[in-house]
Amino acid sequence: MSELSDKDVVVVGAGVIGLTSALALQRAGRKVLVVDPNPPGSGASMGNAGTIADFAIAPVGSPTLLKRLPELLFDRAGPFSIRQAALGALLPWLARFAWQSLPGKAQRNMQAIAALTKDAGPRWQDLADSIGAAHLLKASGCVYAYASPAEFASAKQDLSRRAAFGVPLTLLSPADLAELEPGWPRVDGGAVLFPNAQSVIDPQGIMQALTTTLIEAGAELCAAAVDTLSPHQGRVVLSLQDGRALTARQVVVAAGAHSKPFCDQIGDLVPLDTERGYHLEFDGQETRLSRPVCSAVDGFYCAPMVGRLRAAGTVELGGTKAPLTEARVANLARRFALLFPDLPKPSRAWMGFRPSMPDSRPVISLSKRGRQVVYAFGHGHIGLTLAPVTAELVTALIEGTEPLLSLADYRVDRF
């Protein structure tokens, strides 16, 4: 179609990473087209727990998790599980994940993640102000609650590692937690408050604000799925699944968990897979808590959001093709009911695809084709948190300017 013929920058994917990158590029004077078959922000970016988690510097793979991996993976109801049907396909990713969980690797990954999470809160404040969404960002910290003393004790090493990286945190006794969050069930262990964390109280609303601002800034949106990318004579040719084609000077691949085929087409082999995550929502129940509280043993947050309480989290390895696993939804509902026995039934359930690398570091990188194709995906559990810094780094890569930090740790060819 002629109106799609030749573009300046095309961003593939309108999740929080694609939208923030597109906005930063448009503000830098580029002419941006964002292509996505689905409504902007309707993937993982709208279903998350909403935490701007400057404290979330620990990679998923750690020596502690590695020891428990066999037990966890085959406990279908547990916080970290695997769809048996997907086991074969997942083995290469799992092998890399296990390798990255070794002590030296995990420490290195933490360092690489911490370099990105630093200043996540102020960056989000600036972004939210600039898109008229400051009212959707709440600066009230975030809590991890530990039900038993043993659970709390076993978390201490992880907490002191985070503190060593400069993450502010305050340990809370059961009485402190009861005072801070009277709606949370009584724990025997304790809790930790991450006071600098912020939360988005309506992820969908903030995606809408980003989209509106992007269009007002002059960017275009195209509702279509990109099928293939191929560099040709100084341009990148994008063929769309509906049969149309367009060319672009430069392309940003930000299709979240669906980014791998584009890397394959360019010739960059990347071990991207997905950690499927779930949420349940309870309409009208948001007043029970005043900030997101994570039940550490369950691996999910309870986050008060506009008009509802959202329980979001857990990991299910199982690829992007299979639908939501009903048994996991039922289990999440059961665990949640143990915390809040008086809650009504969930109003809705959702499953989405975290784009996950075995080392929990995102890919923010030039491709084999240099600045013609730039990658921005693989943000795993902290894509919302890292969106503003990623957008700034993507802009530097596209423009060929000096990035604010070294990108060696996030290169596509690091494996």
Residues that bind ligand FAD (CB under 6 A): 12-18, 35-38, 42-45, 47-51, 53, 225-226, 254-256, 258, 277-279, 312-313, 352-355, 377, 379-385
Q: List alpha helices for 279-377, DSSP H.
A: 326-339
Minimum CB distance to ligand FAD smaller for 44 or for 167: 44
- Taking the complex as a whole, the smallest distance from the CB of residue 365 to ligand FAD amounts, in Å, to 14
- Distance, CA of 49 to CA of 223 (rounded, Å): 26
Minimum CB distance to ligand FAD smaller for 44 or for 169: 44
Nearest in space to 287 (alpha carbons), one of 303, 276, 272, 270: 303
- Taking the complex as a whole, the smallest distance from the CB of residue 52 to ligand FAD amounts, in Å, to 7
Nearest in space to 184 (alpha carbons), one of 301, 357, 99, 272: 301
- Distance, CA of 186 to CA of 174 (rounded, Å): 7
- Taking the complex as a whole, the smallest distance from the CB of residue 287 to ligand FAD amounts, in Å, to 20
Q: Is the dihedral of CA 261, 15, 314, 144 positive or negative?
A: positive
The residue type of 306 is V
- Taking the complex as a whole, the smallest distance from the CB of residue 367 to ligand FAD amounts, in Å, to 16
Q: Give the other-Cβ count within 10 Å of 159's Cβ.
A: 18
- Taking the complex as a whole, the smallest distance from the CB of residue 404 to ligand FAD amounts, in Å, to 19
319: left (phi over 0), alpha (psi -120 to 50) or beta: left
Minimum CB distance to ligand FAD smaller for 105 or for 381: 381
Give the angle 414-381-300 at the CA atoms, nearest 5°: 150
Nearest in space to 382 (alpha carbons), one of 408, 357, 349, 415: 357
User: Taking the mean position of all CA atoms in its chain, how far away is CA 398?
Assistant: 22
Minimum CB distance to ligand FAD smaller for 174 or for 378: 378
> Cβ neighbours of residue 321 under 8 Å, at least 6 residues apart?
none
Cβ(167)–Cβ(91) below 8 Å: no
Cβ(195)–Cβ(54) below 8 Å: no
- Taking the complex as a whole, the smallest distance from the CB of residue 173 to ligand FAD amounts, in Å, to 25
Minimum CB distance to ligand FAD smaller for 37 or for 205: 37
Minimum CB distance to ligand FAD smaller for 47 or for 304: 47
- Taking the complex as a whole, the smallest distance from the CB of residue 259 to ligand FAD amounts, in Å, to 8
- Taking the complex as a whole, the smallest distance from the CB of residue 362 to ligand FAD amounts, in Å, to 8
Minimum CB distance to ligand FAD smaller for 51 or for 196: 51
Does an H or E element contain 232, and which? strand 226-232
Compute CA distances 10 → 74, 222, 232, 409, whole Å.
42, 10, 15, 25
- Taking the complex as a whole, the smallest distance from the CB of residue 267 to ligand FAD amounts, in Å, to 18
Minimum CB distance to ligand FAD smaller for 174 or for 222: 222
The pairing of beta strand 293-295 with beta strand 300-305: antiparallel
Minimum CB distance to ligand FAD smaller for 63 or for 212: 212
- Taking the complex as a whole, the smallest distance from the CB of residue 218 to ligand FAD amounts, in Å, to 21
User: Taking the mean position of all CA atoms in its chain, how far away is CA 354?
Assistant: 6
The pairing of beta strand 363-367 with beta strand 370-377: antiparallel
Minimum CB distance to ligand FAD smaller for 172 or for 222: 222
Q: Is the dihedral of CA 366, 43, 261, 411 positive or negative?
A: positive
Both structure tokens of 274 = 């997905």
Minimum CB distance to ligand FAD smaller for 50 or for 141: 50
- Taking the complex as a whole, the smallest distance from the CB of residue 45 to ligand FAD amounts, in Å, to 3
